[in-house]
Structure 1
Amino acid sequence: MQIAFRLLIILLAAIPALAILHDGLVRHALTAAAAVILVFAAMGQEKEVSTAAQILKRFSLTMAFPALWMVLQLAPLPFPSLVNPIWSTASAALGESLAARVSINPGATLQSLIAYLAMLSLLISTVIVARDRHRAETLFYVLTTVTTFMSAEWLIGQLDVFAGLIPPTGSTAASAFTAMAALSALANGAAIVMAIERHLSRRDPENASWIPLLTRLALGAFGLAMALTALKSLAAGGVMASIALGFVAIIVVAVVRRLEIRSWPAIILFASIATIAVAISLLRLQDPSAPTIAGFATFATAESLSVAQRAMADTPWLGNGVGAFRSLEPIYRDFGAAPVPELPSTALAVAIEWGLPALAILVLIAIQIFVFMFRAAIRRGRDSQFASAAAAGVLVLLCMAFFDQSLMNATVQIVAAVMTGLGIAQSAGRTSGPG
């Protein structure tokens, strides 16, 4: 178990360097690393592994859905109404029979399936490793430090001396820094709340030493200031609104636990706040010229929006194949226009590659995970900030999926997988069982 724990820390510590490398190289390295970490994690104490398996059991369908959907897109189907019409066109042009599939690029979809399994392995490994509260706390602070360093890396990259080190704003690599800064703000906010709660929960808080509290508050405030400074130049209004909603989730958990309110009334209270916030966002943030999910993309160019809307209009219910957009893009690009290598938001990519029904299901899955961790944080006896920070992170990343393409970046996926795994692992104490 210690080997898996150390490998996880090494992987997280390498993220600032990985963020400026080519995404394809990162994914190849991650696939091997995730497999090794899972093997060592599974070789740990039987009790920790079995408890983690019990917690993950409730998410079995959730975790299986993306893989099953990609397998469906890869498999030859005998029903013409389900397959992509491009295969019948290609068969007629070539004069030979071709296996009809949903995906127009089976190779890219297979690579996406492997990448998903790597992330799933990383999440499962984290759940196993982080069942121990001391390892969970170390992972939490490593995550907080790494994401804060990413914010500092972005700010340093704005200096003339380091010009060109950081990718330009609007690219997938640059949006990764936005996501990291957002998660850093949430993690540092949760660390501040954790420090205050631990001080207040001491048997004699008035006579307890203030040095640990002030040290943790100073470090949390510094990290929070660093993240917010980076976000000032990185993020648009929609991202900042989603981060504010994440902070509300963390604060609601702390207040509700302090007042000893039951979990479901608290969830209903937060759901009401979130509904109002989303309704206001729908009215203010959507671009009237793109009255679909494309209208929420922050850095969308006119050409990328045009390609996305044309592709969405022709997308079958089962999608065009995960990872297949680059094969699809030349069909919908204007003649003589510059290539559009990536879609302006993760939600658009999912809608076109997975299909709209899958997008709806994936949103519901994210909401399910958020509710589970939010409720678990409220019910948790101590260390609730692990679950509340993870719940807030899932909520913010779900919102950001409609604003930019940060979730398409491998380093963001690594942090998201570890943070979510940490929250799931600490959803209950070692003696209380899963919540």
Structure 2
Amino acid sequence: MFVALGFLLGLIALCLVTPFVDGAALAAFIPLLVAVGLLLVALRLPPLETARFGVLVTPVVLGALIPAIWILLQMAPAPAPLAHPVWASVKAGFPTPIWGSISVDIGATALALVRYLSLVGALLLTTALTINRDRAEVTLTALTAAATLISLAFIVIEAVGAPSSADLREEAQSCACLGVVLAAACACLIYERHETRRAKLGFSNAKFIYPMATALIAFFICVAAVVLAHSGSLIFAASCGLVMFVAVFSVRRLNLGRWGAGAIGITGAVIVLALVTGAAGSNSDPRLAFVKKDTATIELTQRILADTPFFGDGAGAFSSILPIYQFGDAEGQERRAVTAAAKLSIEMGRVILWGAVIAALLLAVDFIRAAGKRGRDSFYSAAAASCLVSLVILAFVNVSLFGPGLPLLAAIIVGLGLAQSQGRSA
């Protein structure tokens, strides 16, 4: 399984590189690495781990099928009432009748399906490999290192004033939000391993101090990158993830029980609701209410949202329909949606958007329950739940969830939390 783990670490390395390298060539390696890694896992995974893997991933696979089927339906020929209105005007230019589809760009939708299946494959690959505790430790360390290096690169770019695109900045900032949680999880890993191994093997303090110092440095680098963004929404997203992680860790360490956990959860929910209500702008649409951008850019997305059919315009088809809605100085307008929530709603429909939000929150709750049931190693599930909460908030802040690296990083984090959501006895 060492070779398969190398492919997983290669995917994490791509998460580090792709935000800073403009090119489709690197993104093409993702499905290749995922496919080869899954093949190696299928051939070499031990029988006991295979049985656990099947139990863990069955609900996730069933849920992941829904968006895949939805995208396939968007590409399929559709009758006139379901086909996108743009096909009615296209038909006039063809001598023979043609069938329309829900998607306005079938090629872009097909590529979006490949990318989505690659992310699901990365999640499955991570789950299979990190059922083993040693490989889980290596993966968590690699994820933290990747998020920290991205944050450090962002800090350097800001310090020297180097030119950078809005996409790069947003994705680096979002990775820093996840890095805050991952670094805290690494610190918990080091502390708990020191407790158990010192008692059993008599480890020296030096083997605890230096790794813990490294984890704390990584934590402060990620925090600095978030603060340097000068965005209250990003600080809120990182804070929600970190506070949730600390709360889960505290409930377990202090033996507060269900009543203590419930009190913390209710108090946190009330505080978050109050902060969200106060932070929302004048826009009543939650998909745009937390965005601080120029009015013209927001209005452009609003017009597209207003015209979006129930079934969406097609996954990956946003760039195809954008020129229709641009006017005046098109060069000065942002050629993308302002938030990931708005883009997902435009491409896949509002039902898929809110279904994805509910599914992510339910998965986070399941991870929290799993963390409460576990003794040591509970920080894996707690970190995955906290990162999911941060990602849901980030979906309404910027469009980084459609970037080249952050979705892959998120899929690996969720796979790691899923693999370690049950102990061996379970």
| Range with bigger deviation, 274-283 or 308-317 | 274-283
Secondary structure class of the residue paired with 1:294: coil
Q: Aligned residue for 2:51?
A: 50
**Distance in 1, Cα, partners of 2:74 & 2:404:** 22
Is structure 2 residue 166 aligned with structure 1 residue 154? no
1:310 is matched with: 303
SS of aligned partner of 1:58: helix
Paired residues for 1:120-199 under 5 Å: 120-160=120-160, 163-164=162-163, 167-168=164-165, 171-199=166-194
Are 2:233 and 1:233 equivalent residues in the alignment?
no
Measure how far apart 1:269 and its partner are. 4.2
Q: 1:36-435 counterparts in 2 under 5 A? A: 36-44=36-44, 45-78=46-79, 80-92=80-92, 94=94, 96-160=96-160, 163-164=162-163, 167-168=164-165, 171-200=166-195, 209-234=204-229, 236-262=231-257, 268-269=262-263, 271-289=265-283, 291-298=285-292, 300-338=293-331, 339-432=333-426
Q: Cα distance 1:152–1:203, how it changes in 2: closer, same or farther (>3 A)?
A: closer
1:74/1:103 contact within 8 Å kept: yes
The separation in 2 between residues aligned to 1:331 and 1:268, in whole angstroms, is: 50
For residue 268 of structure 1, report the CA deviation from its aligned partner. Answer: 4.2
- CA distance in 2 between partners of 1:240 and 1:72 (Å): 38
Deviations 1:222-271 (A, max 9, x none): 111111111112251112112111112111211221233556x5664454
Q: Deviations over 1:381-429 (max 9, x none)?
A: 2111111111111110111011011111121112111111000000011
Deviations 1:316-360 (A, max 9, x none): 111110110111111111234335321111101001111111101
**Range with greater deviation from structure 2 (207-216 or 37-46):** 207-216
Q: Distance in 1 between matches of 2:425 and 2:94?
A: 64
Structure 2 CA distance for partners of 1:336 and 1:184, relative to 1, 3 Å: closer
Maintained 8 Å contact 1:296/1:403: yes
d(CA) in 2 for partners of 1:248 and 1:194? 17
Distance in 2, matches of 1:95 and 1:301, equals 44
Task: Find the aligned partners of 2:297 and 2:190 in 1 and give their Cα distance.
Answer: 45
Rate the CA distance shift 1:31–1:56 in 2: closer, same or farther, 3 A. same
- Does the Cα contact within 8 Å between 1:23 and 1:410 map onto a contact in 2? no
- The total of aligned residue pairs comes to 423
| Cα distance between partner residues in 1 of 2:49 and 2:31 | 24
Q: Which letter does structure 1 place at the counterpart of 2:178?
A: L
TM-aligned CA distance change 1:303 to 1:252, over 3 Å: same
Q: Is the contact between residue 247 and residue 392 of structure 1 (CA under 8 Å) also seen in structure 2? A: yes
Which range moves more in the overlay, 235-244 or 22-31?
A: 22-31
Structure 1: how far apart are the matches of 2:129 and 2:350? Answer: 35
Cα distance in 2 between the residues matched to 1:259 and 1:317:
48
Distance 1:272 1:410 in 2: 36
Q: Kindly report the root-mean-square deviation, in angstroms, between the aligned alpha carbons of the 2 structures.
A: 2.3
Which deviations, in whole Å up to 9, do the C-alpha atoms of 1:68-110 show, x marking residues without a partner?
Answer: 11011111123x4332222223224656522121111111010
Structure 1 unpaired stretches of 5+: none
Alignment partners' CA distance in 2, 1:203 and 1:330: 63
**SS state of the match for residue 424, structure 1?**
helix
Deviation at 1:178, TM superposition (A): 0.8
SS in 1 for 2:423: coil
Shift of 1:118: 0.8
> Could you tell me whether the CA contact under 8 Å between 1:42 and 1:125 is conserved in 2?
no
- Would you say 1:7 and 2:7 are equivalent positions? yes
Change (3 A) 1:111 1:233: same
Q: 1:202/1:48 Cα in 2 relative to 1: closer, same or farther (>3 Å)? A: closer
| Letter of the structure 2 residue corresponding to residue 398 of structure 1 | V
Counterpart CA distance in 2 for 1:61 and 1:266 is 34
- TM-score with structure 2 setting the length: 0.92
CA–CA separation in structure 2 for the residues paired with 1:63 and 1:185: 27
Q: Percent identity of the aligned residues?
A: 26
Cα distance, 1:216 vs structure 2: 3.0
Aligned counterpart, 1:25: 25
